Amino acid sequence: MRKRVVLASALGLAGLAALLAWRGPRLPPGTEETIARIRAAPVTGVVKGKSGYAQSGGVRIWYESIPSAGAEKGVVLLNSSLGVGSLFWPPAFLRALSAAGYRVVRYDHRGTGASSWMTGWSRKHPYSLIDMANDAIAVLDELHIDRSHVLGLSLGGFVAQEIAIAYPGRVQSLTLMSTSADPTDGSMPGPQTWPLILSVIAGLPLLRYRLLGGEANLVKELLAGLVAQGGDEPVDVEEWTRIVLYDLRERNGLNLRALLQHQVAVAVTRSRYPLLGSITAPTLVIHGNADAYLPIEHGHRLAAAIPSACGLWLEGAGHPFPYPDMHEVMTAITGHLDATDVSAPDRRGGRVQGTTATSDP
């Protein structure tokens, strides 16, 4: 018995040593120098818009309102994914929306970022996606915004649907990315096991940075993930280093408990499928056909159930955001936003040109 314990301990230490030595994706040239330079001074330039707090039933919700680059066409409310603070929306994505003429409002879900971390939360007394939708409305109320374009990614897409169902008059348009009306529905395909296993294996080198700890390694963890994810634009080491360091220093970084809280919020909220027919906002559903977490069938059913919806199906795109070929995706999103400002009697027509995305006929 003692020999087995010693052997198991030795194997564990050997495995840990191998993991720490496994460097994973090659980081962009100059990464070490960039991180060291930014770490040596106060981190600025991450939050550039008007920021503040909204009160939602006793919960404090942090927000930022980023002005449009030119004349304002409207407001886009961003709802981020599970457990992730709003600072981690890709900066290029925010700039593209602003350049298209839209004020961008992003906020931290309860449990993340600078919003309340819900220290009294328990499984016996959870909050739901409906509560999280009310948080978003509290932000709009605080900013005196009557209507907005509502965009949601993954869990943020769940919240965005709840907003459109409960507050139809507040939603000018709806954009739902890599999401579902009920990820717990047993009649729908679940996560794809083998692609998920491969994803976990590919992510093991990133765990090395988390185990080593410290600011610099946590920056490298995020950068390595972005490099591994790929994309049509190089990783901006300067911008992402500032975001990670600011989040660590000013907002305490990742709240691991929020991951569980958000999963429970999904589990305790009723299915939205019976309610999707009530959504009147023009809706764009975007989903990749290589999504291993929420297979594309979830996107297809979502688009079919919302009367005013059209779908954009991305060839070879998985669950992570930004997607490959973001230029084409942004063109579709901004076109969808612009279309709500003019008469558009037939929104289902057309095909997105190119080799990576097609829309419903």
The string of DSSP codes covering 221-254 is: HHHHHHHHH--SS---HHHHHHHHHHHHHHH-S-
* pLDDT in the model for residue 18: 37
pLDDT band at 45; cut points 50, 70, 90: very high
Residue 192 is assigned to a structural domain of this protein = no
Mean pLDDT of 193-197: 67
pLDDT band at 191; cut points 50, 70, 90: confident
> Do residues 212 and 20 touch, judged by C-beta distance below 8 A?
yes
Residue 83 has pLDDT above 90, yes or no: yes
> Can you tell me the distance from the alpha carbon of 86 to that of 165, in angstroms, rounded to the nearest whole number?
23
Model pLDDT for residues 207-256, shown as the tens digit of each residue: 888 888 899 999 999 999 899 887 778 899 999 999 999 999 999 999 99
The β-bridge relationship of strands 283-288 and 309-314 is: parallel
What is the pTM assigned to this prediction? 0.88
* pLDDT in the model for residue 192: 78
Residue 8 is assigned to a structural domain of this protein = no
Residue 90 is assigned to a structural domain of this protein = yes
Residue 127 is assigned to a structural domain of this protein = yes
Q: 85-94, 199-208, 257-266, 324-333 — which is least confidently predicted?
A: 199-208
pLDDT band at 203; cut points 50, 70, 90: low
State both tokens at 325.
Answer: 């070929």
The chain-wide mean pLDDT, for the chain, equals: 88
* pLDDT in the model for residue 350: 32
Mean pLDDT of 351-357: 37
Residue 203 is assigned to a structural domain of this protein = no
Mean pLDDT of 88-93: 97
Print the domain residue range for 91.
Answer: 65-186+257-344
Count H helices and E strands in the chain, helices first. Answer: 11, 9
Residue 200 is assigned to a structural domain of this protein = no
* pLDDT in the model for residue 37: 97
Q: 251-255, 266-270, 337-341, 350-354 — which is least confidently predicted?
A: 350-354
- Counting the structural domains of the chain, the total is 1
Residue 262 is assigned to a structural domain of this protein = yes
Mean pLDDT of 14-19: 35
Beta-carbon contacts of residue 13 (< 8 Å; ≥ 6 apart): none
Mean pLDDT of 1-29: 48
Residue 56 has pLDDT above 70, yes or no: yes
pLDDT band at 265; cut points 50, 70, 90: very high
Residue 9 is assigned to a structural domain of this protein = no
CATH code for position 160: 3.40.50.1820
- Checking 225-229 for CB contacts under 8 A at 24+ apart, the result is 227/25, 227/26, 227/27, 227/28, 228/24, 228/25, 228/202, 228/203, 229/320
Q: 127-141, 310-324, 335-349 — which is least confidently predicted?
A: 335-349
Mean pLDDT of 173-191: 95
pLDDT band at 33; cut points 50, 70, 90: very high
Beta bridge partners of 62: 53
